Amino acid sequence: MSGDPSVPTQAPPRGRLITGATVFVVGFASPLLVPLVARSDLSAGWKTTLTGLLIAGIPELGMLIAVAIMGKPGFNYLTGGIKRRLGAFMAEHGPAQTVSARRYKIGLIMFLIPILFGWAAPYAVHHIPGYESNQLLYAFVGDVLLVSSLFVLGGEFWDKLRSLFVHGARAEFG
């Protein structure tokens, strides 16, 4: 049996698959509990510890426990199904590979606004209406705008963005 998750593997027993998938999902959903911890009456030390665990410990632990429950073939079966469905969704609804110059310019503006706003906001906090009382809303809108811009910019921009993280990548102007 291959360790490659793109190769379909036999499903583990249904009970193990459901239990393992539940542990996997709950583990990766644990960061959603951070606001509850932040609003709790716990001491700052406990809040910090729990927040760190919810963000950087529990998701990974959940994945390890899910692998232990389902076994490697079962985990590959689960993640392979997720990847196939996500790939099919992105093929149908994802960004176009190439876009027009106008769409590209609009996408760049959408991409740069939240970055520049995030950089400037701490310095101009008193000049932005309602910023101090609605920081989470401003952050959420900026995040949505940034992610949306990646779809407007198209697949070629994703390749450009990815090349920032590839050491040997070279820019080609043509």
How far apart CA 14 and CA 78 sit, in angstroms, is 12
Q: How many CB atoms lie within 10 A of CB 136?
A: 9
Whether 1 has a pLDDT exceeding 50, the answer reads no
What are the sequence ranges of the domains in the chain? 14-93, 101-163
Distance of CA 105 to the CA centre of its chain: 25
How far apart CA 38 and CA 20 sit, in angstroms, is 29
Condensed to tens digits (0 to 9), the pLDDT of residues 98-152 reads 778 898 899 999 999 999 988 888 888 888 888 888 888 888 898 999 988 888 8
**Environment class of 174 (CB within 10 Å of its CB; exposed 0-12, middle 13-18, buried 19+):** exposed
Torsion, CA 159, CA 164, CA 166, CA 170, rounded to 10: 80
Condensed to tens digits (0 to 9), the pLDDT of residues 10-66 reads 666 777 778 888 888 888 888 888 888 888 888 888 888 888 888 778 888 888 888
Q: How many CB atoms lie within 10 A of CB 78?
A: 21
How far apart CA 124 and CA 128 sit, in angstroms, is 7
The pLDDT of residue 10 is 65
Closest CA to 161 of 84, 113, 108, 92: 108
Whether 92 has a pLDDT exceeding 70, the answer reads no
Residue 166: pLDDT band (50, 70, 90) is confident
Condensed to tens digits (0 to 9), the pLDDT of residues 26-42 reads 888 888 888 888 888 88
For residue 32, the 8-state DSSP code is: G
Residue 89's identity, in one-letter code, is F
